[in-house]
Structure 1
Amino acid sequence: MSYISIENSDFSLSSEVESNDSYADNLIVINPDSRHSQIYKPQKQRTETPKHNKETMNYRFQNLLGAPYRGGNVVVSNNTLLLSPVGNRVSVTDLLKSETITLPIQSSSNISRIDVSPDGTFLLAVDDRNRCLFINLRRRTLLHRITLKDRVTAVKFSPDGALIAVAAGKFVQIWKSPAFSTDYFAFQLDRTFADFASKITTFDWSPDSKYLIVGSKDLTAKIVCMKKPKKGVTHKPFMFLGHRDSVVGAFFGVDSKANRVLKAYTIARNCYLFSWGFTCANESSDEDSEPRSPGTPVRDGEEENLKKRKKFDAKGDGDDDYDEGYLSRGKWELLRKDGFMQGSAKVTACDYHRGLDMVVVGFSNGVFGLYQMPDFVCIHLLSISREKITTAVFNDLGNWLTFGCAKLGQLLVWEWRSESYILKQQGHYFDVNCVAYSPDSQFLATGADDNKVKVWTISSGFCFVTFSEHTNAVTALHFMASSNCLLSASLDGTIRAWDLTRYRNFKVFTAPSPRQFVSLTADQGGEVICAGTSDSFEIFVWSMRTGRLLDMLSGHEAPVHGLTFSPTNAILTSSSYDKTVRLWDVFDGKGAVETFPHTHDVLTVVYRPDGRQLACSTLDGQIHFWDPIDGLLMYTIEGSRDIAGGRLMTDRRSAANSTSGKFFTTLCYSADGSYILAGGRSRYICMYDVADQVLLRRFQITLNLSLDGVLDYLNSKNMTDTGPLDLIDDDNSDIEEGVDKQTRGKIGFDLPGSLPNRGRPIIQTKCLRIASTGRSFVAATTEGVLVYSVDESFIFDPTDLDIDITPEAVLEALSENQPSRALILSLRLNEDSFIKKCIFALSPEDLPAVATSIPFKYIPRLIELLADLLETSPHLEFIFRWFQGISKAHGISILQSSRNLGPSLKSLHKPMSGQQHLVDTTSSNEYMLRYICSLSAKK
């Protein structure tokens, strides 16, 4: 007996053991993640399972779909980059290219405040637990982190980028910007202003970065100076009085003629805007005296401070050391007070653009207003939703307005001059239940508890169509293989077919009596549609062409939550909570062909892409692999400890002793069938090798402590007599701020008293799908739809490497005009940069000869790289000639190995189908040129 010890979860067995099952009679695999070992005996069926590719295991987080905005403030950088918090991540949207990406950096909880440096290089993000992240935005790298003591309500870079103002409770902290500092602790606290009686709500920098106007809940706004006073002199900040509610907006205004600050605006929560004017004092007046606010009483020690300042000035160095600028030698006065006239609504968001002298205000009733100052002229007053606007901001030029609604997950960019939308995105209100890839892997469909079906473009991350005809939760989705059609099943008792060309619902399938459909599938030819129910335990079969109900398959005694057709024949496979998996012959006869019994409830079932194996998960945390042809159980994977989730706030048992969540609710085979992905009510997604039944890798989908079930051990210090501290919330404080608590997740989270955990979403994975190309997979989680893709820039996996295969040898072959040798050397080295260099170094005349000389074992790798070039390179004709040469030289071998080359060929088909607009344009140009030539010939 041989023993192999695995030291980490990212591993693969040695080639000797993989290639020869007779190497060991029994193989004991010790997995430290699952803390258990199993004995697996070699079986004949293993030779039929393809081996996994190391490159396909190297999945990394790429994007987050389904939630463009979750709350907090948004920032527009460089006039076209829109940054918005999405849970504990930050999403970056390029408004010109219409693309969105999500930074891979995670915070420990939901991000509430962000800001970008003036040059667009650095990003500052603060979460709900007062943890601050300093990120290099261009390189997407975390530089520094720090934890603040109080709750942060506002953060902003100074216009010169040297300072960072942070509103932490009743204090305004001025930090020196870390920038490119490589110090161990780069954050340095410069000053702290504590002249506020209540929590600070907003502030704004002056253009010269010397002053800060700060608004607070104490009904006042104050101007503070950044220059430190002389020792022995106490500086009292100037106060703006007269507000009757919290100040939610305070801004400096710049006079266009004088080119300096001569006005200010403060906005109160009760829908009033105050305009303040500044007048400089005469040179003959006492410059040392501080202008007194209207109605401000004389403070104790104020005259004593004035005497000290005069004493410093009399020495001759007082003006140099204690010069606070012109704002300290003038007078502020209230010019006018204007009301927004919104009834009982409150101001929840506002912004000011100095260049245009305009104010945009968002209200709690979903209305926003755009006003021209200083005359307070209303330019636009529109309603964009029924929920309150949580953020409103100008871009640098002032032509675009960005609005966010946290409760609806809505993000809008509106051009106010042309009154048109630049961006209009809205995520799912509740959790996503199901996802489905299109056959060409370009689109992704999502269905959720909010009764909506959305279709997203994978490359851009945008939703381009939303279907809302369902009246209850969407439970299953399926793309038809032969047509541009999407099927959706819902608890409302309907199966709807959607036309993705005309964006309409063209067919509805229903049962004779109302049923709740929870599973859905269609055969490969698209002739029949099958759906499983959760109430009557039946399977309904319809004709796709006529829409007529063909059959009702009975036999299950519990809800049918798993339903799939075999990829190679017309056998329908179903799984149910009645502990069985049944095979049905839909076309040739009625009744179950065969039944596979289990000892626990079967949660889901999937087929391997070649149809020679099916996998199903059971309630005891096991994955069973069956041979559907012989009806034999091939092997079993015990994964209850691998999928074990964290402890919920309301759990009375520890995570180790709890039995809830220790099973897989969704399974998905890889494109080549070599490994399988499994997820459930846990923060982990497990990847298993099918041939050897070992855990290859675990993906932790989130680090967000704002979700329940992320921690294995709860802190006993957060436990009180009335329950966990995190579940105790002062709702009155949230209502006073005008920011109602935003909760998302399952239905009922927004209903008071509906759940014992007060609406804390529970982390889980509801659906997993792998693209037909095998290059990416998606996971429908509580955080949203996570997209993972293969990233080969961090892996070195050479092929047939020896001492002569070096980058220098590749360059030498190119310099000696040996393109064929150089290409083969680069393929053996397996470095993308060298392979691309060799591809473009060839002339079109040499392509047929070079394609013939390439060994067939390097063809899949070359096809994948050419498919990637087809998406990014402008040399389309040259790349198509490469494909033509490869097809002519290795056409027969490609047909014989079509099964192994399936993912590579599908990855090639994806960019080719995306170039259809180019084909249409060239054809139109060709016909137009022929028409013009024919007209000229007639003349």
Structure 2
Amino acid sequence: MKFSYQFSNLLGTVYKKGDLLFSPDGNSVISPVGNKISIFDLKNNKSATLPVESRFNYTALDLSPNGRFLLAIDDAGKAFYISMVTQTILHTYHFKRKVSRVKFSPDGKYFAICKESLVFVYKAPGYSVGELNPFELVKCMRGAYDDTSCIDWSSDSKVIAIGSKDMITRIYGINRFANFGIQSLGSHRDAIIACFFEENSLDITTIGRNGHLTVWECNIELADLKLWVPEEVVQTEDDDEKPDDVDDSRAESTEDQEKADKRREKEISMEEEEVATILSYKRASRHYLKELIKDNPKATLISAAYHKSTHMLVTGFSNGAFFLHEMPDVNLIHSLSISEQNINSLAINNTGDWIALGCSKLGQLVVWEWQSETYVMKQQGHYNNMYCLDYSPDGQFIVTGGGDGKVKIWNTLTGFCVVTFNEHTSAVTGVQFSKNRKSVISASLDGTVRLFDMIRYRNYRTYTSPRPAQFSCVAMDNTAEFAAAGGQDTFEIYLWSMRNHRLLEVLCGHEGPVVSISFSPSVSGTTLASVSWDKTIKIWNTIESGSDHETIEMQSSVVCVAYRPDGEQLAVATLDGQISFFETKFANQTGYIDGKKDLGAGRSDTDLITAKQNLKGKSFTSLCYTADGECILAGGQSKNVCIYHVGEALLMTKFEITQNRSLDGVDDFISRRNMSEYGNLALVEKREEGDVSIKLPGVKKGDMAARSFKPEVRVYGIHFSPTGTAWAAASTEGLIVYSLDQGMMFDPFFLDESITPDSVKKTVKSKEWSKALMMAIKLNEKPLLQEVLESVPHQDIELTARTMPVMYAERVLQFVGLALESTRHIEYYLLWVEHLLTSHGQHLRQTSAESMPLLLTLEKSVNRRHDDLSKLCDFNKYTLEYVLRQAKMRQAKLEAQQATDDDEEVMCVDD
């Protein structure tokens, strides 16, 4: 079992807060997702998360004009200069204060940041601009009486406009110009939200928070700006080459006279130019955009974006509406409302066709094509926390349930949400895929258990209890014939038949809420294990004995139960932080793990006890066995996820899922900046009433009535992929996926000194296919193994697969299953799969427990390629039908035309 799992992707969360960006080609959207950054490829329909993590949430982002560098700044003012080519951090810089905006100049040589009432301009490092010294300060711009809120550069990167909350927009020059000074543009009655220069012009548009839009015209062009020349003597080349025979006194007097004449001429010419071309602005027009929102007069303008080449302005309001206007006449082009919450960020791609909108409160990211009025992408995570998850049998999909009552299906390959079911009216507490991947079952606190069809994407059946009950967990057996759900308030377990959809049994016996249930994964097993807060584990034989059960007493309340993949072992987690193991045949305890110290303490800002005392209340709340059953994955009320070896009861590795200090409970100690002589300042909430924000015992979400609160970091659910190559955790930040990096791992297999890449290639040239393939497997280098495998002629595949030993055949099958996801030689690799399974299928059936991850990986790859090819074939099929139909219509038209021509010829002959 390998434990080199690395962070792979972040699902379930598409936008938190901050600036949205489009890539220079306009095909990708860059979105800040908490303390991580996700990239959504709209052309290839994929998403990826950069392996860059900050200690606080990102808020200000901007991309260099060439798309190679990303500047991301978090809440604490720490800047990360990231290379988009290598996806690594090149440099970090701490601004010590919160930065509201950052903007690269159009030529990529500078970037400006807004920090409080100041704006700083730095040189942008990079080979393209010839500057390698990072964050070299060029200029500091002062003058604002309040915090600065927006920045925009002129097209030639010489002039910068700065908007502030003091309702004034100021124009500065990066260099000193002779006919230019600091310009202050007023006429607004609220804070400036955005300001935009026109392309190749100094004309500017300013927008206030109250919806006032003002268009300003400049009396000069960009080319008319004159650099200021200091009044100092500029030596000429003739001065240095003065002849020796010339009298010095005479030369100095003549020289001084010439310099005085030149200075006088220069002053006169500059005075004439200043009188003629001094820069000034006049207000051309003023518009009130809020008039378009008649149903909500209290709505305010939150964000704006401007596409300079097409003169298109997009504005977003606090009621979820956004408008498109054509500038400078401010003609309304399009209007739409996507939600009822703030549109916090807007972005337009390079062609001006797509508009990206982000809503932080809903966690929603929308890309809208305004010309066709269609969604290019519409993704939204769970509104509240994500409480449960489950992998599909082939590992291609993940189903999640959240506190918002929604059930979402996520594609692990693309990272996008496939479908959302919103039939539940309360929090979803349990979800599970059926073994045939055709249906999903979910349980909710609304008292219903629902079945969803994964083919037609609909809720086709709903189960309820005889008397109203809140369901806290759900399970489905291996054959998808029975479903069970545990009651949170009735302390009962309800069993339904999924064939006739009737309630079969109500299992009574628990004296506390039933928090977790699980069916035995054995083929013919209908054994059900349930745990409760009454400190008992009950094992039910649901079909043969009905309500008769076996009870195992525990020392503490039990919160989770999980079966080993072969069904011969049972693991339970208790509130005292222990994981106990029982063999299922005789219900004897075989071992236990004390994992309390591995959880990590974590102290909230408002905790009145230390982290050491807080650790006593921590426990694991979710368990899952690995694919081979040797190890177990455990997560709970902390930021750590642990993998233990079951047989040795040892901690194999521990993963820290987040370092985000914007969440509560990440640090073990409270910062001394928050400690005063009167106590912890975090206990005093900043509001007029002075209420204390002390959370109640057992509260998971935080005080929702508080003006500001930090969600506490937790791992609500974990699950291992059936293929054994990845695992996922449902946490406060979203659905975090960790996977093995197959390409970077060197894992030799029975390697000896005689096996080298050269010897393998020599064996291939001698056409000893089976020997060469076994040598490549021993060396276990992916490029070499692929070269040897694809060099085997298709007519020799059957013989090579038949003569290969079983242990090598499993390795080849594993490589083929991974290669099928990306290769173009689909038929060739499917021939390998067919002959390997035909020759060694009997052995794989006998060792099904060990070979199950291998077969599931193969099934996942085949299903994915089938889905891709079926869509392509259907498209080609309908296209060919259309072409044939057009050909038939054209042939019929030609035949009719020919018949008409023949009739006309006959009539002419008769005449």
Same fold (TM over 0.5): yes
Which of residues 184, 188, 197 in structure 1 aligns to 2:136?
A: 188
Shift of 1:859: 2.6
Structure 1: gaps (5+ residues): 1-52, 255-259, 290-309, 733-744
Question: 1:129 aligned to 2:76?
Answer: yes
Q: Equivalents in 2 of 1:138, 1:286: separation in Å?
A: 39
Q: Equivalents in 2 of 1:688, 1:704: separation in Å?
A: 25
Question: 1:542 aligned to 2:496?
Answer: yes
Q: Give the direction of change, closer, same or farther, for the CA distance of 1:275–1:660 in structure 2 (3 Å limit).
A: farther
SS at match of 1:916: helix
Which of residues 7, 11, 14 in structure 2 aligns to 1:68?
A: 14
Shift of 1:403: 0.7
Residue identity matched to 1:245: D
Which of residues 216, 226, 230 in structure 2 aligns to 1:276?
A: 216
Report the equivalent of 1:378.
332
Counterpart contact for 2:154–2:202, Cα < 8 Å: no
Shift of 1:656: 2.0
Q: Give the direction of change, closer, same or farther, for the CA distance of 1:152–1:234 in structure 2 (3 Å limit).
A: farther
Q: Equivalents in 2 of 1:184, 1:215: separation in Å?
A: 30
Report the equivalent of 2:806.
856
Which of residues 459, 470, 488 in structure 2 aligns to 1:505?
A: 459
Counterpart contact for 1:438–1:444, Cα < 8 Å: yes
Residue identity matched to 2:823: S
Question: 1:567 aligned to 2:521?
Answer: yes
Q: Equivalents in 2 of 1:332, 1:433: separation in Å?
A: 57
Superposed CA offset, 1:534-581 (max 9, x none): 111111111112222111111111111110011111111111111111
| Structure number with bigger Rg | 2
* TM-score between both structures, scaled by the size of structure 2: 0.87
Q: Equivalents in 2 of 1:320, 1:855: separation in Å?
A: 93
Q: Equivalents in 2 of 1:339, 1:790: separation in Å?
A: 55
Shift of 1:184: 10
* TM-score between both structures, scaled by the size of structure 1: 0.84
Q: Equivalents in 1 of 2:268, 2:138: separation in Å?
A: 23
Which of residues 704, 715, 723 in structure 2 aligns to 1:751?
A: 704
Structure 2: gaps (5+ residues): 230-258, 689-697, 889-911
Q: Equivalents in 2 of 1:434, 1:136: separation in Å?
A: 35
Residue identity matched to 1:891: G
Q: Give the direction of change, closer, same or farther, for the CA distance of 1:356–1:746 in structure 2 (3 Å limit).
A: farther
Which of residues 175, 185, 205 in structure 2 aligns to 1:265?
A: 205
Q: Equivalents in 1 of 2:324, 2:718: separation in Å?
A: 44
Counterpart contact for 1:449–1:747, Cα < 8 Å: no
Report the equivalent of 1:31.
none
Report the equivalent of 1:238.
183
Q: Equivalents in 1 of 2:813, 2:79: separation in Å?
A: 44
Question: 1:437 aligned to 2:397?
Answer: no
Q: Give the direction of change, closer, same or farther, for the CA distance of 1:107–1:794 in structure 2 (3 Å limit).
A: same
Superposed CA offset, 1:349-371 (max 9, x none): 00111101111000111111100
Question: 1:845 aligned to 2:795?
Answer: yes
SS at match of 1:175: strand
Superposed CA offset, 1:308-339 (max 9, x none): xx9999378999999x9999843321100000
Report the equivalent of 1:337.
286
Which of residues 623, 634, 637 in structure 1 aligns to 2:590?
A: 634
Which of residues 341, 353, 363 in structure 2 aligns to 1:399?
A: 353
Report the equivalent of 1:556.
510
Report the equivalent of 2:608.
652
Counterpart contact for 1:645–1:683, Cα < 8 Å: no
Superposed CA offset, 1:678-721 (max 9, x none): 00001100001112111110010000001111111222222236
Question: 1:674 aligned to 2:630?
Answer: yes
Report the equivalent of 2:860.
910
Counterpart contact for 1:706–1:760, Cα < 8 Å: yes
Superposed CA offset, 1:779-831 (max 9, x none): 00001010111112332221112222333333343344444333222211111
Report the equivalent of 2:252.
none
Which of residues 259, 263, 268 in structure 2 aligns to 1:314?
A: 263
SS at match of 1:396: coil
Question: 1:882 aligned to 2:835?
Answer: no
Superposed CA offset, 1:466-504 (max 9, x none): 111111111000112235111110111111111122222
Q: Equivalents in 1 of 2:705, 2:261: separation in Å?
A: 62
CA RMSD of aligned residues (A): 3.2
Q: Equivalents in 2 of 1:618, 1:408: separation in Å?
A: 35
Report the equivalent of 1:251.
196
Shift of 1:585: 0.9
Shift of 1:459: 1.0
Shift of 1:150: 2.2
Shift of 1:924: 10
Shift of 1:595: 1.6
Q: Equivalents in 2 of 1:439, 1:817: separation in Å?
A: 39
Report the equivalent of 1:823.
773
Shift of 1:179: 2.5
Q: Equivalents in 2 of 1:508, 1:311: separation in Å?
A: 97
State, as a whole percentage, how many aligned pairs show the same letter.
Answer: 37
Residue identity matched to 2:7: F
Counterpart contact for 1:661–1:680, Cα < 8 Å: no
Residue identity matched to 1:75: L
Counterpart contact for 2:53–2:659, Cα < 8 Å: yes
Counterpart contact for 2:179–2:278, Cα < 8 Å: no
Counterpart contact for 1:197–1:218, Cα < 8 Å: yes
Report the equivalent of 2:753.
803
Q: Equivalents in 2 of 1:727, 1:148: separation in Å?
A: 28
Shift of 1:885: 2.3
Report the equivalent of 1:257.
none
Superposed CA offset, 1:62-96 (max 9, x none): 11111111111100012111001101000100011
Counterpart contact for 2:163–2:169, Cα < 8 Å: yes
Counterpart contact for 2:202–2:222, Cα < 8 Å: no
Shift of 1:660: 4.6
Q: Equivalents in 2 of 1:879, 1:606: separation in Å?
A: 37
Residue identity matched to 2:773: L
Superposed CA offset, 1:430-485 (max 9, x none): 10000111222221111111111111111111112111111111100011223511
Question: 1:867 aligned to 2:821?
Answer: no
Residue identity matched to 1:81: S
Q: Where does 1:103-114 land on structure 2 (aligned, <5 Å)?
A: 103-114=50-61
Q: Equivalents in 2 of 1:905, 1:243: separation in Å?
A: 67
Q: Equivalents in 1 of 2:795, 2:331: separation in Å?
A: 69
Report the equivalent of 2:654.
698
Shift of 1:851: 2.0
Superposed CA offset, 1:756-794 (max 9, x none): xx5211111010111211111110000101011111233
Q: Give the direction of change, closer, same or farther, for the CA distance of 1:434–1:914 in structure 2 (3 Å limit).
A: same
Q: Equivalents in 2 of 1:821, 1:283: separation in Å?
A: 74
Q: Equivalents in 2 of 1:66, 1:699: separation in Å?
A: 19
Counterpart contact for 2:301–2:318, Cα < 8 Å: yes
Higher RCO (Cα < 8 Å, 6 or more apart): 1
Residue identity matched to 1:681: Q
Residue identity matched to 2:654: R
Which of residues 478, 482, 497 in structure 1 aligns to 2:436?
A: 482
Counterpart contact for 2:147–2:164, Cα < 8 Å: yes
SS at match of 2:783: helix
Residue identity matched to 2:842: I
Shift of 1:729: 6.3
Which of residues 377, 382, 385 in structure 2 aligns to 1:428?
A: 382
Residue identity matched to 1:142: I
Superposed CA offset, 1:257-307 (max 9, x none): xxx214110001110110011122999999989xxxxxxxxxxxxxxxxxx
Q: Equivalents in 2 of 1:177, 1:845: separation in Å?
A: 59
Counterpart contact for 1:430–1:747, Cα < 8 Å: no
Shift of 1:240: 1.0
Shift of 1:135: 1.0
Residue identity matched to 2:11: L
